[in-house]
Each structure stands twice: as structure tokens, then as C-alpha cells.
Amino acid sequence: MMEYEFMAEEYERHRKKKEFKEKLHTSTEYIDWLEEFTKKYKVFATDSFLYDEDKINEEEKENISLLEALFETIYQYADDNYIESKTNDYEIFFDLEHNGIGYQIGLNYGQGSAFYCLRKEEPEKDSIKFEQLMSGEKLPSTIITNMKLEELEKYIESLVEENVPVEAIHRKTDTVLQKVKVMKGKK
């Protein structure tokens, strides 16, 4: 394949992802498709049908390829709301809920990588609700966290105004954060 053909394919892939993300905030079309598709294929990945393309139609191929964009959208929402991703050996994932159904949307990585979806009959208690993802609404806990972080920011600024060396503040906050991480890891 020529370099310009590759660039054109990458541009088209990027355009489709952008269009998908914009549409995801205004329509349940994709999650409705996912609900129906996962009745037949409870778990699938972006590389699941590489050798069995005849099992799925063009719309399904397109929608499967959009798992990456769904994952990215969930990842951004989670980051904006201080929701930690879940991980295990070679994957990172989030739990999503819609219509009382749970979905694990993730990325498997290792020698290669693929985005995947696993349908769960019941959603996890800490699942991100698809409606929240669509609206982009901030969670109440996020609003509270942001207020506390603003207080911390003002306090640090006041320390600097009182001539406490910035490097001393940095070292102390790093030390406290490391200690908290260790304590949190023991639970």
C-alpha cells in the first residue's frame, strides 16, 4: 500500500471516530446495536472476525471497529470524573450500564492489542451509566472533589505567598501522596 493510501485510510478512520463520538452524545443508536449484537456474540473484540468476516455484515464490521471510539469516550468521561479504570494482567477496562445490562468495555494488550466488549447480564454496582456518558454530566462526587481541589490550590498559593519554598511544598506533597498510596494499597 502506498503511503498516501495509508494516510487516507487513517484520516477516514479518524473522521469516523470523531463523528461517532459526536453522535454518541445525541443518540442511543450504537448502544442499542450493542445490546442486540451481544445477544448473539456475548464477547467480541475488534479482531474477532478477522478470519470469519462472512459471519457479520458491513454495518456490524463498522460498529465493531467503533469499539475503540467508545472506549476512548468512556476513558475521557472517567478521567473527567476521577473514575479509575480497572485492570488485570493485560487489559484495562470500564464497566458500562444501559437498560439494566452490564458491559465490560476494554482494551487487551500484549503482543498485539484489541478493543473488546463483554456483555454481563447484570451491571456492576460501580458501572458508568450510558445516559451519564451521553450527557457528559459531572457526577456529584466530581463536583465535591473539584471544590476540594480548588481549596487545596488556594492553600498552596497562600503558602507560596507566605514564602514557603515551592520545592519544599512539592517534596512534602509528594511524600504525603506516596504514603497515602501505600496505605491505600494495604486495604
Q: Amino acid identity of 128?
A: I
Per-residue model confidence (pLDDT) at position 1: 56
Per-residue model confidence (pLDDT) at position 49: 82
DSSP state of 81: T
Mean of pLDDT values over 161-184: 90
Which percentage of the chain shows pLDDT scores above 70? 97
Per-residue model confidence (pLDDT) at position 98: 96
The rounded mean pLDDT for the chain is 90
Question: For the whole model, what pTM was predicted?
Answer: 0.82
Distance CA(184)–CA(187), nearest Å, equals 6
C-beta separation of 72 from 89 below 8 A: no
What residues contact 72, with CB distance under 8 A and at least 6 apart?
17, 21
Instruction: State the pLDDT confidence band at 186, using cuts at 50, 70 and 90.
Output: low
Distance CA(135)–CA(170), nearest Å, equals 36
* 117-161 pLDDT per residue, tens: 999 989 999 999 999 999 888 888 999 999 999 999 999 999 999
Mean of pLDDT values over 161-165: 93
Mean of pLDDT values over 21-38: 90
Mean of pLDDT values over 34-38: 96
Write out the three cell numbers for 69.
Answer: 471510539
Mean of pLDDT values over 60-80: 93
Q: Amino acid identity of 10?
A: E
Write out the three cell numbers for 151.
Answer: 481549596
Half-sphere exposure for 129 (CA within 13 Å, toward CB): 9
Distance CA(166)–CA(180), nearest Å, equals 21
Pairing mode, strands 128-129 and 91-98? parallel
* 11-20 pLDDT per residue, tens: 887 888 888 8
Helix or strand (DSSP H, E) at 92 = strand 91-98
Match 507566605 to its residue by C-alpha cell: 162
Distance CA(75)–CA(84), nearest Å, equals 9
Distance CA(1)–CA(90), nearest Å, equals 31
Per-residue model confidence (pLDDT) at position 181: 84
